[in-house]
Structure 1
Amino acid sequence: MEGFSFENKTVVLMIKVAMLGGAERQALGLADYLSRKFNCNIYLVATHSNKPTKEFKDFAESCGVDKVYYFGEPSLTIRNEFSIFNLKKAIRAIKYIYKIKNEVKIFKPDVIIPFLNTPSKIAALIYKSVNAKVTFWHQLGLDNYTYDWLEKKAIKNVPFIIANAENGLKVFKEYYNIPKEKLFVLPQYVSISKISIDTEKLRIKFKIPKESIVIGMIAHYRNEKLQKLLLQSFSEINTNKNIHLVFLGNKDNSTETSDNYNLIVSLSKSLNCFEKVSFLSGELVEEVLNCLDIGVLVSEIEGTPNVVMEYMLYGLPIIASNHDGCIGLLEESEFLIPNEKVTLTNKLTLLIEDDELRKKESDKNISKIKKYSIDNYISQLTSIINK
């Protein structure tokens, strides 16, 4: 692969579902960039769903992607055991691999770029038989491992592994014993552009008081995201300033997200802060970012979180859980914290009360985000491929 370039290549981008999470934003942004800058022919494959959400469809169209290919949901777990059930799963897995191999081969791909573990597993199992020159295992953020026979085979066969944060390589080092020369950390690029929108009109739209200092957390309403912790801390802030809290996610993604959305709405009422909180679902992230004065991400686990990069792009002071990926972005920030209510309350109060500190943190974050451009990302990815 020495001398590899993306110029004029046919690229298959493989995602899991057609909903607009961080990985999907990365894939669609990459589709737009590679087609415009390198004249690539792009195919987008969703391994688990061909039913795009409205926000996914809108974002995909803005990136020049008008079709998502789908070949049926995979059954890809084969345990190291003998049983009729396992035999049936093995047969289904073999049929699926054979089917997707034959379909993707029609695209004549040079490169397969997967996003998340299941697409990585599929890419590793089929890339040679579809005559692709290269693929890799692409570990992003929170993802599941099956530790089954097919996963072991795929990880053994894949040319190299990329994680977006150091903690994403742990399972490959400790469980799969992958040699270090095959392991790389490559944080993703910031996948949106900064758009300035009339803040006053947006605050009216989202029912945010005009003169408030606005704290926001943009994250899925999933169990590992700690909206509940932020809400509890917010309710205990003692300040003379007007403050408001905004949550943004998509409550309609699943039963889990709907239940968590309803839980934090109910909790806000019991904490007597319901009137000071906006609970948003499915709104444009750029609109919400234009309303915020402070960005927060508290969670149980992260890779390199897209939303922290987006906060940085919009020049927000940021409080984030001290995960490896957050540390990589914010470096020596005093606002990297453990998931603990008192600490979060104190850090929020510090930023709310000190206008100059907010400006100082804003300037630092704007400077730091400059190195996370898509140009730098592709340059580093090309360098890894050439190794």
Structure 2
Amino acid sequence: MMDTQKTKVLIVISNMEFGGAQRQIVELVNNTDKTQFEIHVCSLSNYAPLAEQFNAGISLHIIHKKAKFDFSVVFKLASLIRKHKFNIIHSYLFDAEMAARLAAKLSCTNIKVIGSERNANYTLKPIQKRAYKLTKHLVNAIIANSKSGADFNARQTGQPKSKYHVVYNGVNTNRFRPQNKKNIRAELGIEENCNLIGMFASFKQQKNHPFLISALNTLKQQGANFKLLLVGDVLHGGMHGSDTYTSAVKQQIEDSSFSNDVVYLGNRDDIEHIYPACDFTVLPSLFEGTPNVVLESMACGVPVIATDVSDNARIISHLSSGYIVETNNVQELSEKILYLLGNTATLETFSKNARQAMVNKFSSVKLAENMTKIYKMVKQK
């Protein structure tokens, strides 16, 4: 007899602030088949602005972590598991990963545990690496958003590669779509005919703003005309040294030759209306998983120049929908930016190809379909 009972999934994350993992949770829960799955989200912080974007019917639970090592979170999470009889717990980000693994064990239920990997080639702290290895037997599967992320996580944590599944991020191609550039620039107070370069990223070291600033400084000194649009802000509470990093980046801009050509927009909840203002965007990251901003920009028909990290080259077709450049190669990045600033025909071609790739391969619907296939498989094991 066919099992018609819904699969109950609890997604646990450190917070629901303006971050990449958080935006993917929004896309996932909003596009999951509600006739087959009952999705709940639990944030370990009461700062959860992106939860406002959940569709009706998505249950949000807050278990506020009051300190770095607040073990009461584990007991509360275990209680939540027992109360709602979840089949699967799927965690995002380190503290949520640890809490979910321990809570699943403590709940004394048959709940299946799924971990996540959102980046690649970063440095794990010794205590994090040890925690992952000590709890690796508590995990049934790990979903990475890039092949390089899956390989990296397996090396770091000692998990067998058989536990890993790759599900690329997805973008809402109805929300993120080409729009009238002239109108958006008018709303932002930006000149209609200026060359506008966008960078959409939180202010944290991973995003490597100084690389882009150095390249643009070189171009400005050579006489190039442009404006830089920065969308994103310091992480909530200055986490992970974000406040110090932000100050350093802004000082570098202040000392540059284009300090008067920078527009700061901070965090925005209407970024689908901001991307189309740009001629192209740049993501100079040191490491990534599958960057949401690349998918979102391309879905809006805005080409991207990105560093050759993680699976960026699998998303951006070099010389077809954008450019892939070597990390911290200022000359190469400068050359690619300068070329796009002066070649509208290339921009138009890249724009069409970028949009089509997102519609065909990286939509939110595709994300939810691929993710729920893994949920079903893990539940049956």
Q: Would the aligned equivalents of 2:317 and 2:323 in 1 still touch at CA under 8 Å?
A: no
Task: Give the match for residue 196 of structure 2.
Answer: 214
Task: Give the match for residue 294 of structure 1.
Answer: 280
1:337 partner amino acid: V
Task: Give the match for residue 20 of structure 1.
Answer: 18
- Within 5 Å, give how 1:356-371 maps onto structure 2: 356-369=345-358, 370-371=360-361
Residue 342 to residue 323, structure 1, CA distance change in 2 (3 Å):
same
Q: Would the aligned equivalents of 2:178 and 2:301 in 1 still touch at CA under 8 Å?
A: no
Task: Give the match for residue 278 of structure 1.
Answer: 263
Q: Would the aligned equivalents of 2:208 and 2:286 in 1 still touch at CA under 8 Å?
A: yes
Q: Over residues 339-384 of structure 1, what are the superposed CA-to-partner deviations in whole Å (9 max), with x where a residue is unaligned?
A: 2111111000111111111112112212221211233223323443
Report whether the alignment pairs 1:52 with 2:48: yes
Task: Give the match for residue 335 of structure 1.
Answer: 323
Pick which of 164-173 and 280-289 moved more. Answer: 164-173
Residue 66 to residue 97, structure 1, CA distance change in 2 (3 Å):
closer
Report whether the alignment pairs 1:99 with 2:69: no
- Aligned mates of 1:253, 1:10 — CA distance in 2: 30
Q: Over residues 145-195 of structure 1, what are the superposed CA-to-partner deviations in whole Å (9 max), with x where a residue is unaligned?
A: 634654324222211222111222234433443322222222121256225
Q: Would the aligned equivalents of 2:91 and 2:116 in 1 still touch at CA under 8 Å?
A: yes
Pick which of 206-215 and 341-350 moved more. Answer: 206-215
Report whether the alignment pairs 1:68 with 2:61: yes
Deviation at 1:117, TM superposition (A): 3.1
- Aligned mates of 2:349, 2:179 — CA distance in 1: 23
Aligned counterpart for 1:320 among listed residues 302, 306, 311: 306
- Aligned mates of 1:149, 1:259 — CA distance in 2: 28
Deviation at 1:325, TM superposition (A): 2.1
- Aligned mates of 2:205, 2:236 — CA distance in 1: 13
Q: Over residues 263-312 of structure 1, what are the superposed CA-to-partner deviations in whole Å (9 max), with x where a residue is unaligned?
A: 33333332231222111212231222121110110011111111001111
Gaps of 5+ in 2: none
Secondary structure at the aligned position of 1:136 is classed as strand
Q: Would the aligned equivalents of 2:196 and 2:280 in 1 still touch at CA under 8 Å?
A: yes
Deviation at 1:240, TM superposition (A): 7.4
- Aligned mates of 1:364, 1:158 — CA distance in 2: 39
Pick which of 178-187 and 340-349 moved more. Answer: 178-187
Q: Over residues 102-156 of structure 1, what are the superposed CA-to-partner deviations in whole Å (9 max), with x where a residue is unaligned?
A: 2332122122222223323333333353635433111112675634654324222
2:112 partner amino acid: V
Q: Would the aligned equivalents of 2:133 and 2:158 in 1 still touch at CA under 8 Å?
A: no
2:98 partner amino acid: K
How big is the alpha-carbon RMSD for the aligned residues of Structure 1 and Structure 2?
2.9
Pick which of 315-324 and 113-122 moved more. Answer: 113-122
Q: Would the aligned equivalents of 2:117 and 2:153 in 1 still touch at CA under 8 Å?
A: no
Query: Which TM-score applies when normalising by structure 1?
Result: 0.83
Percent of aligned positions that are identical: 20
Aligned counterpart for 1:136 among listed residues 114, 120, 123: 114
**What is the aligned length?**
363
- Aligned mates of 2:369, 2:290 — CA distance in 1: 18
Aligned counterpart for 2:252 among listed residues 264, 267, 270: 267
More contact order relative to length (CA 8 Å, sep ≥ 6): 2
Residue 201 to residue 130, structure 1, CA distance change in 2 (3 Å):
farther
Residue 15 to residue 278, structure 1, CA distance change in 2 (3 Å):
same
Residue 258 to residue 202, structure 1, CA distance change in 2 (3 Å):
farther
Report whether the alignment pairs 1:247 with 2:247: no
Pick which of 275-284 and 173-182 moved more. Answer: 173-182
- Aligned mates of 1:37, 1:335 — CA distance in 2: 38
Aligned counterpart for 1:353 among listed residues 322, 327, 342: 342
- Aligned mates of 2:349, 2:189 — CA distance in 1: 28
Residue 38 to residue 120, structure 1, CA distance change in 2 (3 Å):
farther
Q: Would the aligned equivalents of 1:302 and 1:323 in 2 still touch at CA under 8 Å?
A: yes
1:354 partner amino acid: N
Task: Give the match for residue 152 of structure 1.
Answer: 133
Q: Over residues 88-114 of structure 1, what are the superposed CA-to-partner deviations in whole Å (9 max), with x where a residue is unaligned?
A: xxxx64x54333212332122122222
Task: Give the match for residue 369 of structure 2.
Answer: 379
- Aligned mates of 2:162, 2:265 — CA distance in 1: 44
